[in-house]
């Protein structure tokens, strides 16, 4: 089952002689449970693509469907709610609220929606991230690797349809980078979490099931690295049969050519600013 579909996705900045085509009629789909890496040189359109997939920016042309919902038919308020509930975002610089504890940062999407926090889910996430003894720490009291784990916990807390990661290891040393990639792989397996990861490091990209190579705002290659454990309506027990999986891989290859008082209103404002501060790549 396709959890993500984008068609003719285009993003143009500026007008006239100053026009820049950051993304040029991109189309692809991702199945539920896949782990996809997007690679390419700086300026190839990777981050621009991720922001459009996550509903952080709006395209000049084209559509993005997440779980059957066309993101850009929603008004800003409905899009913000959909994003909080169905899309998890992990950035290079963590984007944690500095005056909230690790625990409070993780449950922030629920607080913003005025929903009751699922303490069982919170404890599960803290245990999974090995942060039980750091739950009451502020971001400034955590290491870079621990802060990124909190960021991942916040993204996973709502059981999102998509987990979108923009260079999540870019600000970490090798040891912490390996730990973060292992956590993402484990979330993919343990929670059947669909993950899309941007990275400039091909060594990290090779940990994914599938790799998309971008250049000049286009996807030039779509390569299956290993068979993902994806769910399908054709196989209710979980996973595709070998024949069906091979068919999906072949179909994809054919489609893609080579070539401190802190109020909730304060939190909402900070989150909006954080979502929009990431620059395109």
Residue, of 246 and 54, whose pLDDT is higher: 54
Nearest to 37 by CA among 223, 212, 224, 249: 212
Residue 265 lies in a domain: no
Residue 190 dihedral angles phi and psi, to the nearest 5°: -70, -40
- C-alpha torsion 92→97→99→104, nearest 10: -110
Which residue in 87, 53, 49, 97 sits closest to 72, CA to CA?
Answer: 53
**Rounded distance, CA 155 to CA 160, Å?**
7
Does a structural domain hold residue 281?
Answer: no
Strand order in the sheet with 35-39: 87-90, 162-166, 195-198, 35-39, 210-215, 218-224
Mean pLDDT over 209-224 rounds to 96
* Residue 11 host element (H or E): strand 2-13
Is the pLDDT confidence value at 122 over 90? Answer: yes
User: What is the mean pLDDT of the segment spanning 53-79?
Assistant: 95
Q: Name residue, tokens 């396709």.
A: 2
Domain of 39 in residue numbering reads as 2-259
Whether 183 is in a domain gets the answer yes
Confidence of residue 229 (pLDDT cuts 50, 70, 90): low
Residue 245 is predicted with a pLDDT of 41
Q: How high is the pLDDT of residue 108? A: 92
Percent residues over pLDDT 70 in the chain: 81
What would the pLDDT profile of 139-187 be if each residue is shown by its tens digit?
999 999 999 999 999 999 989 999 999 999 888 888 888 888 999 999 9
Give the pLDDT confidence of 152-165 residue by residue, as tens digits: 999 999 899 999 99
* Class of residue 24 by CB neighbours under 10 A (exposed 0-12, middle 13-18, buried 19+): middle
| CATH code for the domain in which residue 190 is found | 3.40.50.300
Q: Is residue 101 part of a domain?
A: yes
Through-space distance between the first and last CA atoms of the chain, rounded to whole angstroms? 29
CB count within 10 Å of CB 259 equals: 8
pLDDT of 269: 46
For the chain, give the number of residues. Answer: 281
| Residue 268 counted as domain residue | no
Could you give the dihedral angle defined by the CA atoms of residues 95, 47, 201 and 192, in that order, rounded to the nearest 10 degrees?
70
* CA 82 – CA 89 distance, rounded (Å): 13
Residue 273 is assigned to a structural domain of this protein: no
Chain-centroid distance, C-alpha 279: 16
Confidence class of residue 47 from pLDDT cuts 50, 70 and 90?
A: very high
Q: Are 224 and 28 in contact (CB under 8 A)?
A: no
| pLDDT for 280 beyond 80 | no
Q: Answer for the pair 217, 24: CB distance below 8 angstroms, yes or no.
A: yes
Mean of the per-residue pLDDT values of the chain:
83
Domain assignment of residue 271, yes or no = no
**Rounded CA gap, 222 and 37, in Å?**
10
In total, how many domains does the chain have?
A: 1
Q: How confident is the model at residue 130 (pLDDT cuts 50, 70, 90)?
A: very high
What is the per-residue pLDDT for 191? Answer: 85
């Amino acid at each position: 089952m396709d959890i993500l579909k984008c068609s003719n996705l285009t993003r143009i900045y500026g007008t006239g002689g100053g026009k820049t085509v950051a993304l040029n009629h991109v189309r692809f789909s991702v199945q539920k449970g896949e782990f996809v890496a997007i690679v390419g040189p700086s300026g190839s359109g990777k981050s621009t693509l991720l922001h459009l997939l996550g509903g952080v920016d709006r395209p000049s042309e084209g559509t993005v469907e997440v779980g059957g919902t066309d993101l850009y038919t929603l008004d800003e308020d409905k899009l913000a709610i959909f994003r909080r509930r169905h899309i998890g975002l992990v950035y290079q610089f963590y984007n944690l609220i500095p005056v909230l504890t690790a625990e409070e940062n993780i449950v922030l999407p629920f607080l913003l929606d005025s929903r009751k926090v699922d303490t069982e889910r919170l404890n599960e996430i803290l245990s999974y991230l090995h942060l039980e003894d750091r739950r009451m720490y502020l971001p400034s009291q955590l290491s870079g690797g621990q802060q990124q784990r909190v960021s991942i916990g916040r993204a996973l807390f709502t059981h999102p349809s998509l987990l979108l990661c923009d260079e999540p290891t870019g600000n970490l040393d090798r040891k912490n980078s390996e730990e973060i990639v292992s956590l993402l792989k484990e979330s993919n397996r343990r929670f059947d979490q669909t993950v899309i990861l941007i990275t400039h490091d091909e060594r990290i990209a090779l940990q994914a099931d599938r790799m998309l190579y971008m250049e000049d705002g286009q996807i030039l290659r779509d390569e299956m690295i290993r068979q993902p454990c994806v769910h399908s309506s054709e196989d209710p027990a979980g996973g595709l049969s070998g024949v069906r999986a091979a068919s999906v891989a072949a179909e994809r290859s054919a489609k893609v050519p080579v070539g401190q008082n802190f109020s909730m209103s304060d939190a909402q404002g900070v989150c909006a600013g954080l979502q929009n501060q990431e620059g395109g790549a």
